[in-house]
């Protein structure tokens, strides 16, 4: 397991003064990056071996959101490899060790020269120590898109959406999707499925599907093929 401690900054809070979901995702992404760098399997290693880990899906269950200036601990560990997939858990705790959020993620290892999936090599399977997975209700990786959604408009991919892999960062899709939630909606669970990569100047067409306490946002290309599908389920006090 790898973990690090932090303190909730003002720049990481939302209108309620608590850690935003986007900032929580950033913490989780940073934590897995730090872990890989410590093991010598980080960005430079992947670049030298023409490989990249691409996120296939998120499931994040939130019990509570820490407040401004709260001390927090962010942690992660891998719990399995299967073919070209890697499976990783995350957690967020407060200074009393209370679990605030837990997450499951599925990653695909790509050969960046062929853009085809490849199996992890020996360095990876020996370097990443697998641990028992977190106790949580694991949802399917794929998200079913309901019928009769409302198209909301188009978003042009700009430089601010792009990460070092030269496509839209997975957290940016969540940010886009959150714009379509009703005012005051408190997110208790997030699921996100990433289907293909959007790059600079692509146009993303957004459609929203409402089912009671659940919202699904499909972010698609002009032919209605999804780049990403994001599902939000309301939490307490929603």
pLDDT tier, 238 (very low <50, low <70, confident <90, very high otherwise) = very low
| Predicted pLDDT at 236 | 67
Same domain, 42 and 123: yes
Q: What are phi and psi of 173, to 5 degrees?
A: -60, -40
The tally of domains found in the chain comes to 2
CATH classification of the domain holding 155: 3.10.129.10
% pLDDT > 90, the chain: 78
Are both 121 and 155 inside the same structural domain? no
* Residues 6 or more apart whose Cβ sits within 8 Å of residue 29: 170, 171
Looking at the fold, whether 110 and 18 belong to one and the same domain comes out as yes
Residue 141 lies in a domain: no
| 37 domain-assigned | yes
Going by C-beta distance under 8 Å and a sequence separation of 6 or more, which residues neighbour residue 69? 7, 8
106/174 same-domain check: no
**Residue 82: C-alpha distances to residues 35, 127, 136, 181 (Å):** 20, 16, 20, 35
Cβ distance 196 to 225 under 8 Å?
yes
Tens of pLDDT, residue by residue over 154-200, are: 888 888 888 776 778 888 889 999 999 998 899 999 999 999 888 88
Q: CA-CA distances (angstroms) from residue 203 to 11, 15, 106, 153?
A: 28, 29, 26, 10
Q: Which of 127, 142, 175 is the last residue of a domain?
A: 127
Tell whether 74 and 111 lie within a shared domain: yes
Pair 121, 172 in one domain: no
Residue 8 near residue 69 (C-beta atoms within 8 A): yes
Q: Are residues 29 and 118 in the same domain?
A: yes
Q: Pick from 43, 4, 11, 40: which is nearest to 165 by CA?
A: 43
Any domain includes 82: yes
Q: Which residues of 140-176 are buried (b: 16+ CB within 10 A; e: fewer)?
A: ebebebeeeeeeeeebebeeebbeebebbbbbbbbeb
Residue 143 lies in a domain: no
**Which pLDDT score, from 0 to 100, does residue 171 have?**
86
SS3 91: strand
Compute the radius of gyration of the chain from its Cα atoms. Answer: 18
Which domain covers residue 114, as residue numbers?
A: 2-127
Mean pLDDT within 145-151: 84
**Stretch 50-77: mean pLDDT:** 97
Q: Is residue 142 part of a domain?
A: no
Domain identity same for 115 and 184:
no
Residue 135 lies in a domain: no
Task: Determine how many CB atoms are found less than 10 A away from the CB of residue 24.
Answer: 27
Same domain flag for 106 and 158: no
- Report yes or no on 35 lying in a domain: yes
Do 108 and 189 share a domain, yes or no? no
Give the whole-angstrom CA distance, residue 2 versus residue 91.
11
DSSP string, 36-50: HHHTT-SHHHHHHTT
Domain boundary among 127, 159, 176: 127
- Is there a single domain that holds both residue 122 and residue 177? no
Q: Determine, yes or no, domain membership for 105.
A: yes
φ, ψ (nearest 5 deg) of residue 29: -60, -45
Region 100-110: mean pLDDT is: 97
Assign 147 a pLDDT band (cuts: 50, 70, 90). Answer: confident
Does residue 82 share a domain with residue 10? yes
61 CB neighbour count, 10 Å cutoff:
19
């Amino acid at each position: 397991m790898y973990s690090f401690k932090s303190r909730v900054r003002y720049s990481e809070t939302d209108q309620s003064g608590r850690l935003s979901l986007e900032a929580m995702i950033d913490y989780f992404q940073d934590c897995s990056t730090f872990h890989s760098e410590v093991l010598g399997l980080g960005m430079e290693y992947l670049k030298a071996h023409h490989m990249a880990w691409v996120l296939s899906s998120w499931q994040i269950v939130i019990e509570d959101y820490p407040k401004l200036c709260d001390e927090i601990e962010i942690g992660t560990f891998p719990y399995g490899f299967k073919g070209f997939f890697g499976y990783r858990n995350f957690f967020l705790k407060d200074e009393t060790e209370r679990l605030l959020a837990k997450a499951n993620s599925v990653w695909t290892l790509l050969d960046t020269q062929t853009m085809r999936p490849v199996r992890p090599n020996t360095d990876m399977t020996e370097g990443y120590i697998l641990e028992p997975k977190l106790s949580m209700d694991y949802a399917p990786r794929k998200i079913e898109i309901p019928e009769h959604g409302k198209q909301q408009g188009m978003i042009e991919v700009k430089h601010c959406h792009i990460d070092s892999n030269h496509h839209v960062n997975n957290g940016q899709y969540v940010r886009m999707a959150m714009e379509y939630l009703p005012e005051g909606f408190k997110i208790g669970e997030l699921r996100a499925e990433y289907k293909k990569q959007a790059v600079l100047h692509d146009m993303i067409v957004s459609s929203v599907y409402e089912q009671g306490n659940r919202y699904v946002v499909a972010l698609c290309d002009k032919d209605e093929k999804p780049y990403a599908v994001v599902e939000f389920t309301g939490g307490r006090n929603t």
